[in-house]
Chains A and B, each alone.
Chain A
């Protein structure tokens, strides 16, 4: 479904990706793992067109989408839940959801979709007319996911969905990912919390310094590397995180 083939990318003079290849097949949940600065978010940026890779290609459903504009991707069926949630703080919850449906809007379907989101996330119905910026971090994460789902994506990409959330909220997010997976949605998940991510995915890629260090199913990854080790986002990485 999605094929990232040997992409290189840089921010100005700083090279971030040195040839990343990732493949996501229909119906799979795939994770990109690695510490901060490993190139996970940069890979997503190259897929969404926010950043143009210096070389390599991104193919989605057989079509070359390398360097396409971010706005053209939603129509093709890719939705992103961005890192840090990126809720429109001055817009109401409803307006956030309405913009999520920007490309897919049809009155009847929109109403049905809203209803479905309220079933998945009851809190959103309660907060429908509140400003997005007034929600708690966890509620904002729910809204960000709902907003992305409103576009009826074929591929949902989640960038660090558990970052900065309380443990209970993190559980809820991973619970949701399993739920969406059950519905057959294809998901590309970026996570620092490798241990948690490996519980919900079919396959994973471990990124280190802009390269794929290991890839395969959960068992294969676990065989190749010690996932509790510090460079996979264990306990002792807090002090040595590098900036983005």
Chain B
């Protein structure tokens, strides 16, 4: 069961899920908001590739830049136009608003493009298979591993080495106190949404790359996966999200291999059962929160 092909599959699936989960957690950390519109940024990046590539016939690398920029823009606008006006009201208001943005975005593409799925043009090397040490895998599986590695290193440097990163970590810990340091609330929140959109855009390219198609409901599945992965990994830190993403990928692949053919369609049910077990026995996730509680003394 444990062979190189399985390892590559798990790492690539885990990388994608980790990328998507971190984007969800960054916003959650600061606003304590599960952004239901997050899946739609992935959908938007898919449609951006479709429009720029299939309709406007731009080269593949331009379509990918546009995909990421579109997700960033929509994420930024979600915060600026929808979340910010209700932010001081209540957490519930933000939650419902993010849900409204999700439904709104789905219906925009449904009305202006089509309710049916559209083929997303991707460079041919994406699906080209390569063989490493006897294991055969599509090149995009290796690309997603490499991309995730680079993006997560970059993100970690941003969070550790820059004042923006410090401010974001501080805001995730104690929001009001961070403002009392002179850090504008809107500044850190906007930054979190922009980075979140960036991760959704990059992850989105690989998400739609698997089926090479996009439809108005494309965002639902990755949102759910990112949510489950963060619950398992721990919602309080990006590291938890990364761990959760990889654990999700591993569990999913193990279930795919071990479940008998007749049970394979219940794979998601098994995933949900595992999540329920997590909520029962380790609700804080695999990675517990850092040392925010003060030591006695």
- Number of A residues, CB within 8 Å of B: 36
Neighbour of B182 across the interface among A71, A133, A138, CB < 8 A: A71
A147 to B181, CA, bound (A): 9
Complex contacts, A138 vs chain B, CB 8 Å: 297
Interface membership of B163, Cβ < 8 A:
yes
Neighbour of B293 across the interface among A89, A91, A102, A136, CB < 8 A: A89
Neighbour of A89 across the interface among B167, B173, B182, CB < 8 A: B173
Complex contacts, B178 vs chain A, CB 8 Å: 88, 99
Neighbour of A99 across the interface among B176, B181, B291, B292, CB < 8 A: B181
Complex contacts, B174 vs chain A, CB 8 Å: 86, 88
In the bound complex, do residue A91 and residue B291 qualify as a contact, i.e. CB atoms below 8 Å apart? Answer: no
Complex contacts, B167 vs chain A, CB 8 Å: 99, 102
Given contacts A102-B182, A103-B182, contact A131 B163 (CB under 8 A): no
Interface membership of B140, Cβ < 8 A:
no
Interface membership of A69, Cβ < 8 A:
yes
Select from chain B the residue with minimum beta-carbon distance to A84.
Answer: B294
Interface membership of A100, Cβ < 8 A:
yes
Complex contacts, B292 vs chain A, CB 8 Å: 89-90, 133
Complex contacts, B169 vs chain A, CB 8 Å: 88, 90-91, 95
Complex contacts, A208 vs chain B, CB 8 Å: none
Complex contacts, B170 vs chain A, CB 8 Å: 88, 91, 95, 99
In the bound complex, do residue B182 and residue A74 qualify as a contact, i.e. CB atoms below 8 Å apart? Answer: yes
23 contacts between A and B (CB under 8 A): A48-B180, A69-B179, A69-B184, A70-B176, A70-B179, A71-B179, A71-B181, A71-B185, A73-B180, A79-B180, A80-B180, A88-B170, A88-B177, A90-B290, A91-B170, A91-B173, A95-B169, A99-B166, A99-B170, A99-B178, A99-B183, A100-B181, A133-B290
- Residues of A with Cβ closer than 8 Å to B? 48, 50, 69-75, 79-80, 82, 85-91, 95, 98-100, 102-103, 105, 131, 133-138, 140, 147, 151
- Residues of B with Cβ closer than 8 Å to A? 163, 166-167, 169-170, 173-174, 176-185, 289-297
